[in-house]
Amino acid sequence: LSNHIISNLYDYVTGVEVGLGSNGRKNRGGHQMENLVESYLKKARVEYYKEMYLTEIEQKWNIDLSAISAEGTSTKRWDFVVKTPSSIYVIETNFYTSGGSKLNETARSYKMIAEEASQIPKFKFVWVTDGGGWTSARRNLEETFDVLETMYNITDMENGVFSSLFC
């Protein structure tokens, strides 16, 4: 403090000055993307639920989702669930500002979920993703795009995709 190396005592005490605040910012983009998607769900005026587990969906609407839960052995929480008279839509959202192995693994995982979900009647998997990080992982993203009809980005939402998808 006496040498003025630390410019803000509050930031130092809370850990920001020494690098401890990075984890607090870790998923800020993801939360912002969730908030953005939620705003477009509200504009589309659909019935939706936030952060719903696979088992809750099965119980609420009496649907068998064992095809995507490894026969009930894994638990999955969806960012959003939209219920329409004809289908149940589960939505995952994310935003990547930079590349890395996480994107490739996410794309592979969601490709598998898309393939499994396609076997369940009246059940749709929706993925909303965006960000410059996909530039380096575009091949994996394209592979998922080839099997997932309901994959969207921010521009798609701006153009009203939810209003047409959920009607």
pLDDT in tens, 121-141: 999 999 999 999 888 888 888
If we measure between CA atoms, which residue out of 62, 60, 41, 59 comes closest to residue 50? 41
pLDDT at 18: 47
Whether 97 contacts 29, CB under 8 Å: yes
Element of type H or E holding 50: strand 48-53
If we measure between CA atoms, which residue out of 93, 81, 155, 82 comes closest to residue 127? 93
Per-residue pLDDT of 77-125, as tens digits, reads 999 999 999 999 999 999 998 888 888 899 989 999 999 999 999 999 9
Quote the CA–CA distance of 109 and 143 in Å, as a whole number.
11
- Beta strand 123-130 with 151-152 is parallel
Neighbours of 121 (CB within 10 A): 7
Q: Which amino acid is at 133?
A: G
Whether 157 contacts 130, CB under 8 Å: no
pTM (two decimals): 0.80
Whether 15 contacts 133, CB under 8 Å: no
Q: Which residues contact 3 (CB under 8 A, 6 or more apart)?
A: none
CATH architecture of 26-165: 3-Layer(aba) Sandwich (3.40)
Query: For residue 160, is it left (φ>0), alpha (ψ between -120 and 50) or beta?
Result: left
Is residue 53 over pLDDT 50? yes
The pLDDT > 90 percentage for the chain reads: 57
pLDDT at 17: 44
Length of the chain measured in residues: 167
